[in-house]
Amino acid sequence: MTDTKNRAPMTTATIPAWADWPDDKVLELRLCDLKLDIRSTYLETCIQSLYRELQERGLHFQPLCYLGDEWFSPDSSPSIAIPFYLAHPRLKQLEKKFMLEVEGDSESECMKLLRHETGHALCHAFGLPRRRLWQAVFGSPKKEFRDFYHYQPYSKSFVRHLENWYAQSHPEEDFAETFAVWLTPALNWKKQYEGWPAYKKLLYTDKLMRELKGKTPPRFKIEKPFAISRLKMRLKTHYEKRRKFYAEDDPALFDSDLKRIFPSLDAEGQRSVPASTFLLRQRTLLLAVIPHWTHERKFTVNRLLRKLAARCAELKLPAPKDEDQARAEVIAYLTALVSNYLFTGKFKGHL
């Protein structure tokens, strides 16, 4: 069920005043003052589709969906928080501007995330991770959650649903991803994962869901932490915190590498265009190629690119003679940095 109590559906007459405000004015609003509603948005359509999928599988379970500050399912509560910015096109614009992408923007992407979070909500509703067999299949739920984790890109021990090989981050994420694959309509997981070690996890999940078929989860208090209706943080502060989370601190870390890619030229060969300008000219290409192969956020890649360009300017490095070679080296270098970031949370270090 969606969190729509005592809320009127959004119509043309109730379009918020801030929808046409400039960015700087909208950013001064508190999150709770946005007065957002899931109803009459594509989110409502997605949630109803999710409920139908669960019903068609015989699961008498409808996780409460509400607007929060990001995607998550609260611990010990069968509910799902959906990022507030998905509830209005104007807020999607801001998210795109500051984070360079909108997670869950399309209906297909939103459904993938909802199925994943439903896996978590099911765990909370029925206490699945406490079962010994569940732990034998997926691992101990007591394993520490980490923002950064080692993964094996070609491992067949885990299903592939969300990006970043998310199933490998934690046993509960492994189950949520496995459940999402199991739930996805028209996906023949038996054929797709046949012969994979992950197939045994899917078979266990299938058996477990058959066991839960027709059962109603125990009654307990539904919690909605970080609900948008109660958050008094301003939008400006919200984005400052999110952008800072993905920042890297010391620009001097990259000096030796940059000097190798953009070596100083003699007076005769000196170029008038600086290396910083060359780097920024590659932005469109780099933001297309590197996130595609590393599955890292565009914001992270863009932030790194701008940091490197700024450092090139400080070091007064010249543009290369051979731009094709330099472009290839920049792509390889950024890919290596981002891959290291995915493994360790740091751009520089040993993989």
3-state secondary structure 242-304: HHHHCCCCCHHHHHHHHHHHCCCCCCCCCCCCEHHHHHHHCHHHHHHHHHHHHCCCHHHHHHH
Q: Which of 6, 34, 32 is nearest to 19 (CA)?
A: 34
Distance CA 134, CA 179 (A): 13
pLDDT tier at 11, thresholds 50, 70, 90: very low
Q: Give burial (CB, 10 Å; 0-12/13-18/19+) of 111.
A: buried
Rounded CA-CA distance 309/312 in Å is 5
Predicted TM-score (pTM) of this structure? 0.75
pLDDT band (50, 70, 90) for residue 341: confident
Q: Checking phi first, is residue 139 left (phi over 0); if not, alpha (psi -120 to 50) or beta?
A: left
Evaluate if residue 267 carries a pLDDT over 80: no
8 A C-beta contact, residue 60 and residue 215: yes
Q: How wide is the angle at C-alpha 120 spanned by C-alphas 128 and 64, nearest 5°?
A: 115
pLDDT of 350 reads 41
For residue 154, the model assigns a pLDDT of 79
**pLDDT score of 339 more than 60:** yes
Task: Check residue 212 and give its pLDDT.
Answer: 96
Closest CA to 3 of 58, 93, 67: 67
Three-state secondary structure call for residue 72: strand
Lowest mean pLDDT among 13-22, 85-94, 118-127: 13-22
Q: Which of the two residues, 24 and 295, has the higher pLDDT score?
A: 24
Lookup: tokens for 234: 């301003």
Average pLDDT of the residues in 264-293: 81
- Summarize the confidence of residues 28-47 as an average pLDDT: 95
3-state secondary structure of 240: helix
pLDDT at 351: 36
Cβ-in-10-Å burial (0-12, 13-18, 19+) of 75 comes to exposed
Task: Measure the CA–CA gap between 12 and 18, rounded to whole angstroms.
Answer: 14
Please state which of the ranges 220-224, 300-304, 311-315 shows the lowest mean pLDDT. Answer: 220-224
Mean pLDDT value across residues 60-65: 94
The answer to whether residue 30 scores a pLDDT higher than 90 is yes
Distance of CA 186 to the CA centre of its chain: 24
Helices (H), the chain: 23-26, 42-56, 89-99, 107-126, 132-138, 171-183, 189-192, 198-212, 235-245, 255-261, 275-281, 283-294, 298-315, 323-344
Could you give the CA distance from residue 273 to residue 316 in angstroms, rounded to a whole number?
10
169-188: average pLDDT: 96
Question: Cβ–Cβ contacts within 10 Å for residue 208, how many?
Answer: 20
**Mean pLDDT, the chain, as a whole number?**
87
For residue 309, pLDDT beyond 80: yes
pLDDT digits (tens, 9 = 90+) for 93-134: 999 998 888 999 999 999 999 999 999 999 999 999 999 999
The whole-angstrom separation of Cα 88 and Cα 16 is 10
